[in-house]
Chain A
Amino acid sequence: MTRSYIMDEPDERNRLDAMAQGVIGRPLDRPEGPLKTSGTATYAAEYRMNGRIEGVLVTATIAKGEVTVLDESSVRDFPGVIAVISDDRMTARAAQGGAGKSPVRKVREVRYYGQPIALVVAETFEQARHAAKALRIEYREDAAALVDAQDDAIAFEQFEEPIIQGDLDKALNEAAHTVDVTYTTEGHNSAAMEPHASIADWDGKILTLHSSLQMLRFNRKELADALGIDPEQVRLVSPYVGGGFGSKLGISPEGVAAAVAAIRLKRPVRVVMLRQQVFQCVMRRSETRQRVRLAADAQGRLNGFGHEAWVTNLPGEEFAEPVLQASEFLYAGENRVLDLQLGRIHRVTAGSVRAPGEAVGMQVLEAAMDELAEAIGIDPVELRLRNIPEKHPSEGTPYSSRKLEECLRRGAERFGWDASPRKPCLRREDEWWVGTGMATATRVHNLNEAYARVTLRSDGTAEVASDMTDIGTGTYAILGQIAGEMLGLDPAVVTVRLGDTRFPPGSGSGGSWGACSTGSAVLEACEGVRAALAAKLGCEEAALKLKDGHAFSGADKVALSDLLGGVDVVQLGHFKPGKITEAFSAAMYGAFFAEVGVNAYSGEVRLRRFTGAFSLGRVLNAKTATSQCMGGMVWGIGSALTEGLTFDPRDGHIVNPDFAEYHIPVNLDVPHLDVLLVEERDPAGSPLQAKGVGELGICGAAGAIANAVYNASGVRVRSFPITPDKVLVGLPEI
């Protein structure tokens, strides 16, 4: 029997705080840690199967056109080659997150450079790779395709109804202080360390795909739709995922190609993307151009707020980087213009990359806010504090728990923020200009439907099962802690099983909703188990105390294993966000404080100190939550200083499709990261009173670094990433 909880209003019961075990929130080690650190956690490409053969994807070398010749005879006689497959069921793109249906197939109709067009299958990887490189292909090329995001011929269109309130132009004209600035950000790649990988096995009825995916219940439908089979005929297995960051939200081309090959060849087929293919044919974060207009009175109170953004995507894609998502609710200003424009361009699909929207929108908004603080002559922390609205500035809805002020104040204190008047180029240490900067963090809170099954075994141990994934976020740890807290068990005796569509469908990992959504399903299942135990004990559920494997009711104490009498209790829990999602503006908040050194001769920027104070509702595991925040901050460093996809303006190919040329932060780029978790309960966030964690740490982080670069050196770079060449041109003479 399923126990459902549809969340229409804030859940004030606060069940977790009413429990006795005392494990929720504690900084426990991840239960899968010994497997990961000993190399025995099994990732998608690592399953051994008899007769497994290898496929290598072949990708297009034109931006737009059609494959006219795909000459199988050019490789047929190569040693080991089994087949060249270019099938109507294969997918030319990755699915967008939550699509639940096949992405564009038609692999021979090329729409971007790097699009998969065929799969070469051979007995070994070396043989397949060699043949894939030698396969003779001819194209009919459409040379007029737009591939350059700077091309004036791109016709941008409004992506959604803009928000227009009052008269922003008038507010700007009459304001004591204004800012009107345009910033740009480059495209990003998720670049998870594990390349997209799949092994497909077809037994004539069931297609089993071991794959690296984030949201199995959607991916199952996407794969089935592409193959033209029933979702019930698809089993997906992803217990360990080597990072996702949005790039594995949807089924990706290698998984579908492996499945097609396995069905056709009746042998298990493995396809692993080459690192370059991960860049070329999965997802990019769109480059953005953003104009921010701010109007403030003499005290720094905003009465005009404009944020407009221009982004791109492939024709036919329904996703536009939601750049303005946080600008809708973060700051005051009754005269508002928020407008997102989408242009069509023949570059690899634009989709979700960690914190879509806020990741790039917040860093620009927070840099513009720094410019406003300077124009007014007030402390940038104070400017933020003066512009925290009473209610949602457009919709009028109340905020759920919001600790932005506390994050700003406590973060500043922790960092040792100097609130005295600010001026650039005041501090030099040898060849380094040294300065500080800050920014607000915020990210919308999302929820998703989820199921989970909890089994309290008759021996007093428990199992949690869901097709939910752990992409490094700590799902194994926190679901065990939720069940342990609710059932009065040491999490060490709670086994968490994830990443298999044979388990009930969880929320999947994406949009920072995983812990709250699937965790709430676990909570609901545990409520059912508790009710069953109370019935056995003959007491009200509210009077039942569970701790250390024992049930307590009044003066009675009984071991769970005795109470259960040899019979397991199995409960399916279901969580669904209802009216709550419209009733409040719910978000996570925080504040970043950075200190940088800017080399006075080369323009190189080195981050010296980085503090983040975050409020994200209840913390479910202080260790993994802290790590998530750190990870976001590291992404902020990359976005600020080094990361940017470079496209060839002639054919749209990615010039830097690997780790040698696309520079993610390395260890020496990252100082000790100082993370402060500000304790919070948010009854509107989820029944756990928790909110999302995984993306907040990036949202605004690069803005703090940009502001520190300005404070150190006096160079205001309005084009991310802030590479030395951009700093060098503005450095003062010394």
Chain B
Amino acid sequence: MPLTINGTDHDFIGDPRTTLLDYLRDECGLTGTKKGCDHGQCGACTVLVNGQRINSCLTLAVMHEDDQVTTIEGLGTASNLHPLQAAFVRHDGYQCGYCTPGQICSAKAMIDEAANGWPSFVTADLFEPVKLTTDEIRERMSGNLCRCGAYSNIVDAVTEILETKR
């Protein structure tokens, strides 16, 4: 079954019970995507499927025929970081680092969602263009848990990227 991961063609032939998360980590060696709960409760496994963020533990690999999957490894590398990755380093938007790839994938998709006018729980006016205030960022990043408590710095990192874009 064909699918594309970080621009590379893959052919999934495994156990149909295999989650997309376990396929990425164990078969593809893309361990940047983390398993924190396996139940869609923590967001550590967030990846982009056709540009949208998804908890990869809550979906089976076999459900992604012909999909384009982007993981943290597809955003940037240690020697050539994506601007969001670099901002997380500058702002110390992580500590143990385990939730971090999920946070960054989530932030990437969140910025695109807002640009496309998607409202959130804290959006006051559903008809105006969405402005990613700090409260909007906090709400939209609340599916990504961080036990180290780096939230304040994560918001700063994302805010810096948004301000650079403006």
Pairwise interchain contact A38-B92, C-beta atoms closer than 8 A: no
- Nearest to B72 among chain A residues (CB) is A39
Contact (Cβ within 8 A) B151 A473:
no
A193 adjacent to B149 (CB under 8 Å): no
Stretch at the interface among A149-157, A489-497, A656-664: A656-664
Please state if A631 and B95 are interface contacts (CB–CB under 8 Å): yes
A533–B145 CA distance with the chains assembled, in angstroms: 48
A508 at the interface (CB under 8 A from B): no
Q: Taking the complex as formed, is A471 at the interface, i.e. its CB lies under 8 A from any CB of chain B?
A: yes
Render B123-164 as a binary contact track against A, CB cut-off 8 A, 1 for contact: 000000000001101110111111111111111000000000
Q: Which of A43, A126, A192, A668 contacts B18 (CB 8 A)?
A: A126
Interface residues of B in 73-96 (CB under 8 A from A): 73, 75-79, 81, 85-86, 88-90, 92, 94-96
Contacts of A124 in B (CB 8 A): 15
- Chain A residues whose C-beta falls within 8 Å of the C-beta of B78 in the assembled complex: 34-35, 38, 40
Cα distance, A29 to B116, chains bound together (Å)? 33
Given contacts A243-B147, A670-B151, is CB(A627)–CB(B35) below 8 Å? no
Residue of B nearest to A470 (CB): B96
**Across the interface, which residues of A come within 8 angstroms of B75, CB to CB?**
38
> Does B149 contact A670, Cβ atoms closer than 8 Å?
yes
Say yes or no: B36 contacts A40, CB within 8 Å. Answer: no
Per-residue contact bits, chain A 39-54, to B (CB 8 Å; 1 contact, 0 not) = 1111101101000000
Flag if B100 contacts A36 (CB, 8 Å).
yes
Taking a contact as CB atoms under 8 Å apart, the answer to whether B138 and A667 are in contact is: yes
The complex places the Cα of A658 from the Cα of B41 at a distance, in Å, of 8
Interface hits, A223-253 → B, CB 8 Å: 240-245
Task: Determine whether the beta carbon of B31 is less than 8 Å from that of A191.
Answer: no
Complex contact A666–B92 (CB within 8 A)? no
Q: Which of A112-136 contact B (CB under 8 A)?
A: 124-127, 130
A243 CA / B44 CA spacing, docked (Å): 13
Instruction: Determine whether the beta carbon of A245 is less than 8 Å from that of B89.
Output: no
Is B99 a contact of A634 with CB atoms below 8 Å? Answer: no
> How far does the Cβ of B120 sit from chain A's closest Cβ, in whole Å?
10
CB atoms of A672 and B152 under 8 A apart = yes
Are A34 and B37 in contact, with the CB atoms below 8 A? no
B7 within 8 Å of A by Cβ? no
Q: Is B117 an interface residue (CB 8 A)?
A: no
A33 within 8 A of B: yes
Closest chain B residue to A33, Cβ basis? B89
- Asked if B152 and A666 make an inter-chain contact with CB atoms under 8 angstroms apart, the answer reads no
- Interface residue? A258 (CB, 8 A): no
B33 within 8 A of A: yes
Residue B20 lies at the interface, judged by CB distance under 8 Å to chain A: no
**Count of chain A residues with Cβ under 8 Å from any Cβ of B?**
65
User: Measured between C-beta atoms, what is the minimum distance from A479 to chain B in Å?
Assistant: 16
Q: Which residues between 12 and 48 of chain B lie within 8 Å of chain A, taking CB atoms? A: 15, 17-18, 22, 25-26, 29-39, 41-42, 44
Q: With A242-B96, A275-B37, A627-B92 in contact, do A632 and B138 touch (Cβ < 8 Å)? A: no
CB neighbours (8 Å) of A191 from chain B are 147
B92 touches A242 (CB 8 A): no
Complexed CA–CA distance, A38 and B83 (Å): 11
Q: Are B150 and A627 in contact (CB under 8 A)?
A: yes
In the bound complex, how far is the Cα of B57 from the Cα of A658, in angstroms?
A: 15
Q: Are B17 and A631 in contact (CB under 8 A)?
A: no
In the complex, the answer to whether A672 meets B149 with C-beta atoms within 8 Å is: no
Contacts A243-B96, A666-B142; is A39 near B148 (CB within 8 Å)? no
Q: Which residues of B contact A658 (CB under 8 A)?
A: 37, 39, 41
B97 interface contact, C-beta 8 A: yes
Give chain B nearest CB distance to A169 CB in angstroms: 42
User: Does residue A392 face the partner (Cβ distance < 8 Å to B)?
Assistant: no
B71 within 8 A of A: yes
For B98, give the chain A residue with the smallest CB separation: A242
Alpha-carbon distance between A38 and B137 when the two chains are bound, in angstroms: 21
CB distance from B20 to the nearest CB of A (A): 13
Of all chain B residues, the one with the shortest Cβ separation from A477 is: B92
Contact A38 B153 (CB under 8 A): no
Q: Is the CB of A472 within 8 A of B96?
A: yes
Indicate whether A36 sits within 8 Å of B97 (C-beta atoms), given known contacts A29-B92, A126-B17, A667-B144: yes
Docked Cα-Cα span, A358 to B137, in Å, equals: 33
State in angstroms the CA–CA spacing of A586 and B152 once bound together: 30
Contacts of B39 in A (CB 8 A): 275, 658-660
- Taking a contact as CB atoms under 8 Å apart, the answer to whether B81 and A38 are in contact is yes
Judged by a CB distance under 8 angstroms, whether A194 is at the interface is yes
Instruction: Please tell me if A102 contacts chain B, counting CB pairs below 8 Å.
Output: no
Is A267's CB within 8 Å of the partner chain B?
A: no
Measured in the bound complex, the distance between the Cα atoms of B94 and A627 in whole Å is 9
Q: By the criterion CB–CB under 8 Å, are B31 and A42 in contact?
A: yes
Q: A48-B29, A193-B44, A667-B138 are in contact. Are A672 and B95 (CB under 8 A)?
A: no
Query: Can you spell out 13 A-B residue pairs with CB atoms less than 8 angstroms apart?
Result: A29-B89, A34-B81, A37-B101, A39-B72, A126-B15, A193-B44, A242-B97, A242-B98, A275-B42, A627-B95, A630-B149, A634-B151, A664-B145
Tell me the B residues contacting A by CB distance below 8 Å: 15, 17-18, 22, 25-26, 29-39, 41-42, 44, 71-73, 75-79, 81, 85-86, 88-90, 92, 94-101, 104, 122, 134-135, 137-139, 141-155
Query: Given known contacts A474-B95, A658-B37, A666-B151, what 19 new A-B pairs fall within 8 Å (CB)?
Result: A37-B72, A37-B104, A40-B32, A191-B147, A193-B34, A193-B42, A275-B38, A626-B92, A630-B149, A630-B150, A659-B41, A665-B149, A666-B142, A666-B145, A667-B137, A667-B141, A667-B154, A668-B138, A669-B142
